[in-house]
Chains A and B, each alone.
Chain A
Amino acid sequence: MSIELGHFALVLAFAIASVSAVVGLGFWKSGERIAGFLQQASILQFVLIGAAFAVLVQAFVLSDFSLALAVNHSHSDKPLLYRITGVWGNHEGSMLLWVLILVLFGAAVAAFGRQLPRDLLSLVLGMQSLLTAAFAGFTVFTSNPFERMNPAPLQGMDLNPVLQDIGLAIHPPLLYIGYVGFSVCFSFAIAALISGRIDAAWARWVRPWTLLSWVFLTLGISMGSYWAYYELGWGGWWFWDPVENASFMPWLAGTALLHSALVMEKRNAMKVWTVFLAIITFSLSLLGTFLVRSGILTSVHTFASDPTRGLVILTMLAILIGGAFSLFAFRASSLRQGGLFAPISREGSLILNNLFLATATGAILVGTLYPLVLDALTGRSISVGAPFFDLTFAAIMVPLLIVLPFGPFLAWKRGDLVAVTQRLAGAAGLALFVAILIFALSGASISLAPLGLLLGFWVGFGAIAELIDRARIGRLPFRESMRRLFGLPRTAWATAIAHLGVGVTVIGVVSVTAWETERVLTMNVGDVTEIAGYSIAFDGIQDVPGPNFVSEEGTFSVTAPDGGTRTAHPERRIYTASGQPTTEAAILTYGFSQVYMQLGEDGSGESHVVRLWYKPYVTLIWIGTLIMAAGGLLSLSYRRLRVGAPAKAARPGERTVPAE
Chain B
Amino acid sequence: MKGLIAFLLALTLAIGPALAVNPDEILDDPVLESRARSISTNLRCLVCQNQSIDDSDAPLASDLRVLVRERLVEGDSDAQVLQFVVDRYGEFVLLRPVLGWHTILLWSAAPLILIAGGVAIFFGIRRRKAQPIPAAEGLTLSAEEEAALAALARNETPSDRAT
Contact = CB atoms under 8 A, between A and B. Distances in A.
Verify that A and B bind, or say they do not: yes
B134 to A, nearest CB: 10
Nearest to B3: A448
A449 B117 CA distance: 30
Contacts of A384: 95, 97, 106
Interface in A292-306: 298-300, 302
Interface string A91-109: 0000000000000000000
B22 interface: yes
Contact of A512 (B10, B16, B118): B16
A240 B90 CA distance: 22
B102 A394 contact: no
Interface in A332-381: 336-340, 343, 351, 355-356, 358-360, 362-363, 366-367, 370, 374, 378, 380-381
B65 to A, nearest CB: 12
A394 B8 CA distance: 6
Contacts of B26: 520
Nearest to A121: B162
B158 to A, nearest CB: 7
Given A300-B49, A448-B6, A521-B23, A381 B92 contact: yes
Contact of B113 (A363, A648, A649): A363
B12 to A, nearest CB: 4
A118 interface: yes
A383 B94 contact: yes
A627 B138 CA distance: 39
A452 B15 contact: no
The listed residue with most B CB atoms (<10 A of its CB), out of A338, A382, A388, is: A382
A53 B31 CA distance: 57
A611 B15 contact: no
5 contacts: A366-B106, A370-B109, A384-B95, A452-B10, A520-B19
Contacts of B44: 383, 385
A521 B93 CA distance: 28
B50 interface: yes
Contact of A386 (B10, B41, B49): B41
A451 interface: yes
Interface size class of B (residues with CB under 8 A): 35 or more
Given A355-B117, A359-B117, A609-B23, A447 B6 contact: yes
Interface in B45-69: 49-52, 55
Interface in B83-105: 90-97, 102-103, 105
Interface string B135-162: 0011100000000000000000110111
Given A359-B117, A362-B110, A239 B15 contact: yes
B109 A362 contact: yes
A395 B8 contact: yes
Contacts of A366: 105-106, 109-110
Nearest to A298: B49
Contact of A513 (B10, B97, B110): B10
B94 A382 contact: yes
Given A359-B117, A387-B41, A520-B26, A513 B18 contact: no
B110 A396 contact: yes
Interface string B4-39: 101111111111111111111010000000000000
Contacts of A380: 91, 102
B95 A383 contact: yes
Contacts of B41: 386-387
A386 B55 CA distance: 12
A326 B163 CA distance: 31
B1 interface: no
A446 interface: yes
A516 B110 CA distance: 30
Contacts of A489: none
Interface of B: 3-4, 6-24, 26, 41-42, 44, 49-52, 55, 90-97, 102-103, 105-106, 109-110, 113-114, 117-118, 121, 125, 128-129, 133, 137-139, 157-158, 160-163
Contacts of B163: 31
Contacts of A370: 103, 105-106, 109
Q: How large, as a class, is the contact surface on chain A?
A: 35 or more
Contact of B16 (A241, A449, A516): A516
A518 B44 CA distance: 21
A391 B49 contact: no
A238 B17 contact: no
A241 B21 CA distance: 21
A236 B13 CA distance: 11
Interface in A498-549: 509, 512-514, 516, 518, 520-522
A358 B113 contact: yes
A235 interface: yes
Nearest to B11: A394
A348 to B, nearest CB: 8
A114 B7 CA distance: 53
B125 A338 contact: no
Nearest to A117: B162
A394 B12 contact: yes
B96 A388 contact: yes
A340 B137 CA distance: 7
A388 B95 contact: yes
A518 B19 contact: yes
A394 B90 CA distance: 28
Interface string A256-283: 0000000000001000000000000000
A451 B19 CA distance: 27
A268 B9 CA distance: 41
B46 to A, nearest CB: 10
Task: Rank and list the top 9 A-B pairs by shortest CB-CB distance, nearest first.
Answer: A385-B95, A387-B96, A236-B18, A448-B7, A363-B110, A366-B109, A394-B11, A390-B12, A446-B10
A520 B52 CA distance: 18
Nearest to A450: B7
Nearest to B114: A359
Nearest to B26: A520
Contacts of B9: 391
B90 A381 contact: yes
Query: Which one of A359, A360, A516 has the highest number of Cβ atoms from chain B below 10 Å of its Cβ?
Result: A359
A452 B162 CA distance: 53
Contacts of A395: 8, 110
A87 B60 CA distance: 35
B27 to A, nearest CB: 12
Contacts of A363: 109-110, 113
Contacts of B19: 234, 518, 520, 611
A149 interface: no
A601 B58 CA distance: 12
A632 to B, nearest CB: 25
Given A385-B96, A390-B12, A648 B109 contact: no
A130 B22 CA distance: 53
B79 to A, nearest CB: 15
